Amino acid sequence: MTEHRYTLTLSCPDRVGIVAAVSSFVAEHGGFIVEASYHTDQETQRFFMRQEIRADSLPFDAAELRMRFAKLAEQFQMGWQISDSAVKKRVVLLVSRQDHCLNDLLHRWRSGELQVDIPCVISNHEDLRGFVEWHGIPFHYVDMPRDNDHDKAAAYAEIARRFDEERGDVMVLARFMQIVPPSLCTRYAGRIINIHHSFLPSFVGAKPYHQAFQRGVKLIGATCHYVSDELDAGPIIEQDTMRIDHGDTVDDMVRYGKDIEKAVLARGLRYHVEDRVLVCGNKTIVFR
């Protein structure tokens, strides 16, 4: 998307007149709505909305748009935000040794398909330093001792410091093979995205392809989700599957799975940075 746009996302208790009020507000200022999506969650009776507005159709900038919209938002008890397409989201990538998801995201970033800034990559191994620095991106190694909780806490404190220092908008675990502590999950709720190599909620935790092989499954998959303090149980953003059969080995499943993981993570991250994902309890509304 090259056209300069403002994206409004909101959720509030459902009631009559929300769409009319927001549309009238935009129209009163000459705003041109180019994309609009709506959904009511029947269980919670909560309303969700996403609108894209042509920036050049308004007589003021994003800051003033936010100031003017705040009064309407208060009237309807909205949780809301307005983002500016001219301001790219800052994505901090976390990796371990496997590079397929990292490689895919960096390719999409270099080609312009993924419209983000990547200020740095953080890893608990040195293996991918040369590959990352070849792309002109700073690489930060953070030692993550296996059996020392005190040093692990210090490592996560360093990761949080780097993320804040880089003014990160979202942290992406691109096959970062460590469990993020509850303190970071709470601190960055809705801002940490993980790719899990199984179709959750099946086969959580380590070696899901081995678990799937032992169960003789006929479908394998991958899940992109927000990280919560419960392992592999955060709100799901995107998923996909692939059919397999009894002749496929664990190595085959791992190989097939890498292709699914790359695609699912890229789609999930794109939905997030384009403000297409709204969280509703432990599930998501995704306006594709």
Coil, strand or helix: which one is 61? Answer: coil
User: CA 26, CA 59: separation in Å to the nearest integer?
Assistant: 11
Q: Which of 61, 232, 245, 248 is catalytic?
A: 232
Helix intervals (H) in 203-249: 208-215
| 228-233 CB contacts, 8 Å cutoff, 24+ apart | 228/185, 228/189, 228/282, 229/182, 229/185, 229/186, 231/179, 231/204, 231/205, 232/194, 232/196, 232/200, 232/201, 232/204, 232/205, 233/200, 233/201, 233/204, 233/282
What is the signed CA dihedral for 179, 156, 237, 108, rounded to 10 degrees?
Answer: -110
Give the dihedral sign, CA 175/176/182/185. Answer: negative
CB 17 within 8 A of CB 55: no
Coil, strand or helix: which one is 275? Answer: coil
Active site includes 232? yes
Q: Which residues are tagged catalytic?
A: 232
